[in-house]
Chains A and B, each alone.
Chain A
Amino acid sequence: MKIRTRLNVLAVCIMVGMCWSGRELLKSYEQHRDIQTQIDEILDLRGTIVFLDLNSFDPKLSTVLKEKRRQLGTSKRAELVSNIIQAYNEQDPKIMRQRIYQFLKTDEKSYQRALQSLASADKQVKTFASITLGFPLMGLLLLMFLVRSHLFKSLERLNRRMMDFLVDRYSFQFTEPENNEIGAIQRTFNSLAQRVINNMDELKSLDQAKSDFLSIASHELRTPMTSIKGSLSLLTNGVMGKLEPQAEKLLRIAEMETDRLIRLINDLLDLAKIEAGKFPLAGAWVSWDETVLKTNQSLLGLSSTAKVNLYAAPTPHLEVFIDRDRMQQILTNLISNAVKFSPDGGTVYIEVGRTGNGELLVQVRDEGVGIAHEDQELIFQKFRQSSSPENPIVKGTGLGLTIARALVEEHGGTIGVASEKGKGATFYFTLPKWRDAYGSSPEAIREAA
């Protein structure tokens, strides 16, 4: 049954009960009052009779008595009073006394009877008064019981169902809703849950489709690139015989552009993987200097062609918690950018410092053309490059900084750039987890502060 119906039934019961007992209370009160009046009359009459002056026989009192006699109607008491009046009028004290005595004897009986009725009427009044008061109290108790057993328990059950869904939506069991107002809420919740589950299934299959696409795309894109790159390389390196200088130059161009295309494919796939959350970091404590050294070694070809020096400030004993391959990818992106924008004979500095809150601050500084203020946020977006590199040795894919940013964020850090047009640029990023042999760490620094 609905909770509202139960409440209505309860209210009607209480109201009907209160009306009935109220009416009874009123009735017994009126009865009580009537009996009280009767008793007053008896006492009044008795007083008048007892205090009759048997010496003077005041005729005025005879009139009073007659009046009272008239009110009594016809009864044994009335008759006795008539007798007294008669004797009073005859002014015979002896007979008077006799008759008064007779009257008092009878009167006492009716007085006692009246007192008894008064007592029982009194009891009745008290009983109905308690019942009338009792109904709302009982109603209150019933209301509390109803609220507890139906409303609160249903709400608790519903809450538990919702929690179950929160904890584990896959093994969520749909139950038949209760047949009350809370049941209506549960029904709504069930539909919501169903919709959430459907949406999740849909998302899952979309996610799977994306993964499949990435996997197929990487295979299908890389296989032909292997053939192209391989053919070009064999030709340009004279493995298949000597070539005309012009033809060789053309092939070198094709080879360079192929390399660029391969980098673009790799960057795009990396970015897609990072964005799909399929790029789990393999974090470990590794030496910072070693990581930088390896990166710089892999960039030696690029930097020597561009006639740019790489200078890494030594930080012995510094260890960082990173995925080394990914960190090398970040550094490669930042350093190769710096090299590309450096003038001949310039230097790219790789330095390490600390941020205000104790994080490691890695900076890659160049002496190049700098980046205009309005471009500084733009260059981290996909396919955005600062205009006119003066030293276009290796054309970028426009994805390097986007990937670097994503990877830095995966490491829990932030990336940014500080630069002024014409005064070089400093790319920096933070790393939250580091330590050194002297017992220094972000925690230690924060504590000291």
Chain B
Amino acid sequence: MKILLAEDDSNVSLITQLCLERIGGHSVTIATDGALALAAAQAEQFDLIILDGMMPKLSGLEVAKELIRLGLNKTPIIFLSAKSEEKDVQQFLSVGTGYIAKPFDPQTICASIDAILKNKAVG
């Protein structure tokens, strides 16, 4: 799968990339803030977009809303966030396909992604 990963913390993005590439065998493109992520999503077709909840310039939520507004809503979006409050999670799920809480387990992130995408396909 071609995955776009938007994450401002370079450590987190490196580790997530390693997980996705080495364990899941996906190919990962990294964007370091919301604006870059938006540009990348418009320039290229991805199979999955993973957005960090809190990023400089544009937050993950704003990027997702903008993509929907631009009609680029075919690509599933999964949020990655340290915010676990009920209202935050609900907001993520209202615009995205899924939500994975930080800190996540690298061993299970690929499984979680597969589960979310499979759920969506079924739904």
The size of the chain A interface, using a CB distance under 8 A, is 24
For window 231-290 of A, CB contacts with B under 8 Å fall at: 231, 233-234, 237, 239-240, 262, 273, 278, 280, 282
Please judge, given known A-B contacts A229-B106, A233-B107, whether A219 and B22 are in contact too, CB under 8 Å: no
* CB nearest to B18 among chain A residues: A234
Choose among B11, B83, B105 the residue that contacts A233 (Cβ–Cβ < 8 A). Answer: B105
Q: Is the CB of B9 within 8 A of A239?
A: no
Q: Is the CB of A218 within 8 A of B105?
A: no
Q: Give Cα distance in the complex from A321 to B13, angstroms.
A: 41
| Complex contacts, A215 vs chain B, CB 8 Å | 83, 85
Q: Is the CB of A227 within 8 A of B11?
A: yes
Q: Give Cα distance in the complex from A328 to B9, angstroms.
A: 32
What's the nearest-Cβ distance from chain B to residue A238, in Å?
A: 10
Q: Give Cα distance in the complex from A49 to B82, angstroms.
A: 133
Choose among A227, A233, A239, A240 the residue that contacts B12 (Cβ–Cβ < 8 A). Answer: A227
Q: Is the CB of B15 within 8 A of A237?
A: no
* CB nearest to B104 among chain A residues: A226
Residue A354 CB within 8 A of the other chain: no
18 A/B residue pairs, CB under 8 Å, sorted by A: A218-B83, A219-B82, A221-B82, A222-B103, A226-B15, A226-B104, A227-B12, A228-B103, A229-B104, A230-B12, A230-B15, A230-B19, A233-B105, A233-B107, A234-B15, A234-B18, A239-B23, A240-B22
| Complex contacts, B23 vs chain A, CB 8 Å | 239
Residue A175 CB within 8 A of the other chain: no
What's the nearest-Cβ distance from chain B to residue A226, in Å?
A: 4
What's the nearest-Cβ distance from chain A to residue B115, in Å?
A: 15
**Could you say which of B16, B82, B84 has the most chain A C-beta atoms within 10 Å of its C-beta?**
B82
Question: Chain B: residues with CB nearer than 8 A to chain A?
Answer: 9, 11-12, 15-16, 18-19, 22-23, 54, 82-86, 102-107
Q: Is the CB of A230 within 8 A of B16?
A: yes
* CB nearest to A217 among chain B residues: B82
Choose among B9, B54, B103 the residue that contacts A229 (Cβ–Cβ < 8 A). Answer: B103
Q: Give Cα distance in the complex from A210 to B103, angstroms.
A: 22
Q: Is the CB of B82 within 8 A of A218?
A: yes
Q: Give Cα distance in the complex from A222 to B107, angstroms.
A: 17
| Complex contacts, A78 vs chain B, CB 8 Å | none
Q: Is the CB of B18 within 8 A of A227?
A: no
| Complex contacts, B12 vs chain A, CB 8 Å | 223, 226-227, 230
Given contacts A223-B82, A234-B106, A239-B23, 18 further A-B contacts (CB under 8 A): A215-B83, A218-B84, A219-B54, A221-B82, A223-B9, A225-B102, A225-B103, A226-B12, A227-B12, A227-B15, A230-B12, A230-B16, A231-B11, A231-B15, A233-B106, A239-B19, A240-B18, A282-B86
| Complex contacts, B16 vs chain A, CB 8 Å | 230
| Complex contacts, B105 vs chain A, CB 8 Å | 229, 233
**Could you say which of A225, A227, A237, A240 has the most chain B C-beta atoms within 10 Å of its C-beta?**
A227
| Complex contacts, B103 vs chain A, CB 8 Å | 222, 225-226, 228-230, 262
| Complex contacts, B18 vs chain A, CB 8 Å | 230, 234, 239-240
Please judge, given known A-B contacts A223-B9, A231-B15, whether A237 and B84 are in contact too, CB under 8 Å: no
| Complex contacts, B22 vs chain A, CB 8 Å | 234, 239-240
**Could you say which of B15, B84, B102, B103 has the most chain A C-beta atoms within 10 Å of its C-beta?**
B103
What's the nearest-Cβ distance from chain B to residue A211, in Å?
A: 10
Choose among A221, A225, A230, A282 the residue that contacts B106 (Cβ–Cβ < 8 A). Answer: A230
Please judge, given known A-B contacts A230-B12, A230-B16, A234-B19, whether A222 and B86 are in contact too, CB under 8 Å: no
Q: Give Cα distance in the complex from A229 to B9, angstroms.
A: 14
| Complex contacts, A223 vs chain B, CB 8 Å | 9, 12, 82, 102
**Could you say which of A222, A228, A229, A240 has the most chain B C-beta atoms within 10 Å of its C-beta?**
A222
What's the nearest-Cβ distance from chain A to residue B35, in Å?
A: 20
Q: Is the CB of A222 within 8 A of B82?
A: yes
| Complex contacts, A226 vs chain B, CB 8 Å | 9, 12, 15, 82, 102-104
What's the nearest-Cβ distance from chain B to residue A408, in Å?
A: 19
* CB nearest to A228 among chain B residues: B103
Q: Give Cα distance in the complex from A230 to B104, angstroms.
A: 8
| Complex contacts, A262 vs chain B, CB 8 Å | 103
Q: Is the CB of A222 within 8 A of B15?
A: no
5 A-B pairs with the lowest CB-CB distances in the bound complex, closest first = A230-B15, A222-B82, A227-B11, A226-B103, A225-B103
Contact with B along A315-358 (1 / 0, CB 8 A): 00000000000000000000000000000000000000000000
Q: Give Cα distance in the complex from A224 to B83, angstroms.
A: 14
| Complex contacts, A224 vs chain B, CB 8 Å | 11
Q: Is the CB of A219 within 8 A of B83?
A: yes
For window 186-222 of A, CB contacts with B under 8 Å fall at: 215, 218-219, 221-222
What's the nearest-Cβ distance from chain B to residue A288, in Å?
A: 23
| Complex contacts, A240 vs chain B, CB 8 Å | 18, 22
* CB nearest to B9 among chain A residues: A223
